[in-house]
Structure 1
Amino acid sequence: MAETGGDEAASVKNYFDTTGFERWNKIYGETEDVNKVQLDIREGHQQTVDKVLAWVKNDDLEGVTVCDAGCGTGSLAIPLALQGANVSASDISSSMVGEAERRYKELVANGAKAPATEPKFDAMGLEEATGKYDMVTCIDVMIHYPKDRVDGMINHLASLSSKKLIISFAPKTLAYLILKRVGELFPGPSKATRAYLHDEADVEIALKAAGFKVKRREMTATSFYFSRLLECERV
């Protein structure tokens, strides 16, 4: 049964504020209390984050304004902030964004150098984010939303960025469609939100309509994690 955009967002928020928080906090953390699939997803997600950090490693991030929409537990927002970026991190789940803030404060308390401007952590949906930023990032979020919702998300993210937009999504290919279908045949307790694949051509059409072009792209694929990463610049 199809859900409206509002119902989809409410489902994602409820999931990541309840049973999903504990599960994904373990995946994005360092605990060894994870199964093979969770460990594989952790490694895949970290590879995507590392690729983003590699793209900006030669940039002077001091004072660069960044909006990290759908920040989760801060896997990207925190290292960007510690490199000097002025980060505004948000997530639809108050539990997830609260964990991101806790992790940041713990790192600083343990000796990490705090940036000149402390990062901001806010619980809000992606479309609620406002302002103008040098760079907007949205990593591993769009898999939770259908195409019609993603088109609007891309348009809104683009409206927040004056220069750069970095997004990731699960690409729609025959192989991944088959893998997704096989996974749906064996639903486990962790499958409380839907997984949507997106055609890369459709994503680029939405980006073009929003005034952005793809500068470079990467693909991360492990056994259970797959994500297309795009770095885009304003035309």
Structure 2
Amino acid sequence: MTAVDDKTIVREYFNATGFDRWRRIYGDGEVNKVQLDIRTGHQQTVDTVLAWLKADDNLKGLTICDAGCGVGSLSIPLAEAGAQVFSSDISEKMVGEAKDRAAALSLENLTFAVQDLEGLTGRYHTVVCLDVLIHYPQTKAADMIQHLSSLAESRLILSFAPKTVFYTVLKKIGDFFPGPSKATRAYLHSEAQVVKILESQGWKIERNAMTKTRFYFSRLLEAVRT
């Protein structure tokens, strides 16, 4: 199956059965143990990014693109902290949910759009892309990283499921994303390859982190201009 097919699968999944599942996971309502574990892991990744950005003490007025914003878990707190945030997602339903969550806050510095990653344009101080690359194979991810790089002036933050022997084995036996309502195919990515792509675009790794729960695995890299 081609990379274009992967994008179609992602869009259709998150506009259909996947929307209700992941809206619950990213919310605060009752979920099963696996979903709670994934919620915890995802929130840890979001919290790490927020901590990094807040530690720099320059969020107010900073332009940030949240590519693949989901229900706004990162975009909304960034806007609340004073950043100028442009948020996009391939799923119309996800963007609709994010807008609903943000509506009560009346945030004038937060804009949402239904758009796939490759269609994004503009220039931003910081570009963030969390839990998106897992849906795409390495060759497609390389193109995505290069495009995100072209949008970022000073910083690019990415998360991906790392390709290690341990996680590869888990994936093969079906434990990586368990359950009948699993999302799209989960792709693992070599950290060395991701770093190589970033370096080829003029970036160096500034900070990194690893989030690991029972069912959620995410490597987080912050790249800055050399």
TM-score, normalising length: structure 1: 0.92
1:92-140 superposed Cα distances (whole Å, 9 cap, x missing partner): 001001111110113x16xxxx4xx431100010011100000000001
Aligned to 2:60: 62
Matches within 5 A, 1:11-160: 11-32=9-30, 34-58=31-55, 59-106=57-104, 108=105, 114=107, 117-160=108-151
Aligned-partner Cα distance in 1 for 2:10–2:177: 20
Aligned-partner Cα distance in 2 for 1:55–1:118: 20
Aligned-partner Cα distance in 2 for 1:92–1:160: 17
| Residue 214 in structure 1 maps to residue 211 in structure 2 | no
Structure 1 residues not aligned, in runs of 5+:
none
* Closer, same or farther: CA 185–87 of 1 in aligned 2, 3 Å: closer
Residues 65 and 127 in structure 2, CA contact (< 8 A), matched pair in contact too: yes
Aligned-partner Cα distance in 1 for 2:96–2:123: 23
Percent identity, aligned pairs only, is: 57
SS class of match (1:57): helix
Structure 2: which amino acid aligns with 1:100?
A
Aligned-partner Cα distance in 2 for 1:206–1:146: 14
Aligned-partner Cα distance in 2 for 1:62–1:44: 27
TM-score, normalising length: structure 2: 0.96
Among 192, 200, 221, the alignment partner of 2:191 is 200
How many pairs were matched up? 225
Residues 65 and 124 in structure 2, CA contact (< 8 A), matched pair in contact too: yes
* Closer, same or farther: CA 185–82 of 1 in aligned 2, 3 Å: closer
Residues 154 and 210 in structure 1, CA contact (< 8 A), matched pair in contact too: no
| Residue 191 in structure 1 maps to residue 182 in structure 2 | yes
Report the Cα offset of residue 162 of structure 1.
0.3
Aligned to 1:165: 156
Range moving further from structure 2, 63-72 or 174-183? 174-183
Find runs of 4+ consecutive structure 1 residues off by over 2 angstroms.
184-189
SS class of match (2:20): helix
Residues 171 and 177 in structure 2, CA contact (< 8 A), matched pair in contact too: no
SS class of match (2:103): helix
Structure 2 residues not aligned, in runs of 5+:
none
Structure 2: which amino acid aligns with 1:69?
A
What RMSD over aligned residues (CA atoms) do the two structures have, in Å? Answer: 1.5
Aligned-partner Cα distance in 1 for 2:219–2:102: 27
Aligned-partner Cα distance in 1 for 2:134–2:99: 24
Residues 89 and 114 in structure 2, CA contact (< 8 A), matched pair in contact too: yes
Report the Cα offset of residue 185 of structure 1.
9.9
